[in-house]
Structure 1
């Protein structure tokens, strides 16, 4: 399973990694320091345990 971090932290369309059928502005989004927090870590941990990925 692959989970885009943009979805995990609840970012919108502005944080898309790639826009199909375009040649510009793709692969420019970067995770900034402190964008992941303890709430996100808890959610990810629960998903890992729930789906047996640990």
Structure 2
């Protein structure tokens, strides 16, 4: 499922998938970490940051 948002700050596209995981990161970080149920970790890089 995809959700598209238009705001004064830009266009945001959110895609939801049925992964059994969680994502952790700070608001101003360049990347966040996805933790999967099987113990794997994936680094997620942000495409754009707030000005």
TM-score by length of 1: 0.23
With a CA cutoff of 8 Å and minimum separation of 6, indicate the structure with the bigger relative contact order: 1
Q: Which has the larger radius of gyration?
A: 1
Point out the structure with the larger helix share. Answer: 1
Point out the structure with the larger strand share. Answer: 2
